[in-house]
Amino acid sequence: MAEDQNNKPSLDVDTAFFKSKRGILKVSEMVTLFVAFVCFSAASRPKYIAATALEFLITSLLVLLFMFKLNKRLTFFFWPLVDLFNSVFAAVYFIILSLIALTTYTVRGTLVGGAFGLVTVGLLCVDIYMLFRNITFNKPRSEIQSSDKE
């Protein structure tokens, strides 16, 4: 019975991810998205609430993926590229959403949520830059994944 427990794969928690630049950036993205979500919820703007909640969920899932090192087990996707595409689409979507929220606000919560949306766009742009700098298509995956820990 002790042999069965040793053969089970365990989930290793990568606590160093939260101390890395990308980890701090992802957590700060989640914080600004959550603040924008709360502001839009207080202002009762369902379209904005749905967009921020969805991006918060996607970012949370990516953080969990990197935190539990599942990106090394699920190798059928090139996870840095998936993260890059998510950041690019989220940045474009949130700059439009935040500008609309800032220009058409009727409640102060919409204004504050739009401002935090723009802060999120800035963080997403930094994330895009860092990911794009680390992704090269002529290196093996092992070299790219080891450079992600910078």
CA Rg value for the chain: 18
Per-block mean pLDDT, blocks of 10 residues, the chain (150 long): 57 82 93 95 90 94 89 82 92 95 88 94 94 75 56
Is the pTM higher than 0.75? The answer reads yes
Which pLDDT score is estimated for 66? 87
How far apart are alpha carbons 101 and 9 in whole angstroms? 47
Distance, C-alpha 125 to centroid of its chain: 11
Q: What six digits make up the tokens of 89?
A: 């689409």
Determine the pLDDT at residue 149. Answer: 55
Tokens 């409640």 correspond to 107
